[in-house]
Structure 1
């Protein structure tokens, strides 16, 4: 179960890294109404007047050096990458421990090492994910972010009228919770392995054969 929750946390972490909904801003503009901003990419629909017809086309690109990148975005990129990298290491050690259990190899010290490494990395991954999503959420709704568009952007930040709540914050908290639960399960595995190693198998003593038990029938020389 700990390995299963680790896989779920890893999948959710990848989804967070690729999401473009870390900041969803609504603008008072007839050209661009909503802008979706991720950690690396942004996305929006822009209206164009083509031969008298209004056409709305999707526009997306990477956030480059022309943007005013805020601290929560800048450090969030590194923290999310670190969290996903730690989850990959957890999947390797957890899978190896599962294989060792399946083949019933008596290596309790190696199992405890795999469990401890997985639990420690999961706690670090949980911390990185929780800090990133909480920081971006708090700055976006309760603070003042320094994130700003480049000069070539079709709209300006002064046209911002509302910030929308997205799925990123609950998904990030769910990912951090799964990592924490998985770490707790790996710690339980370490404790159970210690308990099993303390129980020594009972030794079976070999007794000498009793006299007359394995002896064959005696033959009387005079009884013929």
Structure 2
């Protein structure tokens, strides 16, 4: 009977270790995708009725396009970058989306610190259950909050771009005008944002299960130790 208890105990510890590692892996993956999301230049993909600049890729901080030049009778396409500064008419969904996506990435960075610390403490079998619970509780809070910020940003920009009227406009020095816009293309940003938010929630759920199992472990372990001599 005692051997069966220790076998079940070993399987339980292995299961908990797997949840810790998998939860931390999802946190790292969500953090990497969040960085890619913030630096993406495909938040908006606009097609224009123009032979000079047919398509413009617009991110949160800059616009990118290929401009065609006639050089000695040959058409050459050159990549052009245009930083969003005061000359742009920046819409609210982009203006506030910058802060929200940066806040989400910062909170995920904090989660990586606390999650890694908790995993190291578990590996060295340090008796600090209160510290571990604090690390996981902080991680859960930040992961849920960062997931909300990411979903708000991508959903807001997607809804305004396709179903609303965005006030985003180019500077006067831009080679084309917004009046020449003929089509808006769906990009990978919205599904990438949904995946990033989902991974954050999955990681939060695993960390929450870990805190819950730690509470049960703290209640079961004294009872098990009391039965061993008998």
* Aligned match of 1:159: 180
* Distance in 2 of aligned mates of 1:89 and 1:16: 18
Structure 1, 53-62 or 182-191: larger mean CA deviation? 53-62
Distance 1:20 1:164 in 2: 13
C-alpha deviation, 1:61, in angstroms? 2.7
Q: How far is 1:51 from its partner?
A: 1.2
User: How big is each residue's C-alpha offset from its partner over 1:31-66, in whole Å with a ceiling of 9 and x where there is no partner?
Assistant: 000000000011000011111111111101311110
**How far off its partner does 1:105 sit?**
1.0
Q: Deviations over 1:94-144 (max 9, x none)?
A: 000000110111111111100100000000000000000000000000000
Bigger mean CA offset, 48-57 vs 8-17: 48-57
Describe the superposition over 1:156-192 as per-residue Cα deviations: whole angstroms up to 9, x where unpaired.
Answer: 0000000000000000000000001111111000001
Residue from 94, 118, 123 that aligns with 1:97 = 118
Between Structure 1 and Structure 2, the one with more helix by share is: 2
Q: 2:196 aligns with which of 175, 188, 192?
A: 175
- In structure 1, how many angstroms separate the alpha carbons of the residues matched to 2:208 and 2:31? 19
Aligned to 1:21: 42
Provide TM-score, normalisation by structure 2. 0.87
Equivalent in the alignment of 2:226? 202
Question: What is the alpha-carbon distance in structure 2 between the residues aligned to residue 158 and residue 11 of structure 1?
Answer: 36
User: In structure 2, how many angstroms separate the alpha carbons of the residues matched to 1:143 and 1:204?
Assistant: 68
Q: Does 1:85 align with 2:113?
A: no
1:125 aligns with 2:143: no
Q: Give the root-mean-square deviation of aligned CA atoms.
A: 1.1
* Unpaired segments ≥5 residues, structure 2: 1-21
1:107–1:203 CA distance, 2 compared to 1 (3 A): farther
What CA distance in whole angstroms lies between the structure 1 residues aligned with 2:151 and 2:139? 18
Tell me how far apart the structure 2 counterparts of residues 149 and 124 of structure 1 sit (CA, whole Å): 33
Matched position secondary structure for 1:59? strand
Runs of 4+ in 1 over 4 A off after TM superposition: none
- Distance (whole Å) between structure 1 residues aligned to residue 86 and residue 206 of structure 2: 43
Q: Which residue of 2 aligns with 1:209?
A: none
State the structure with more CA Rg: 1
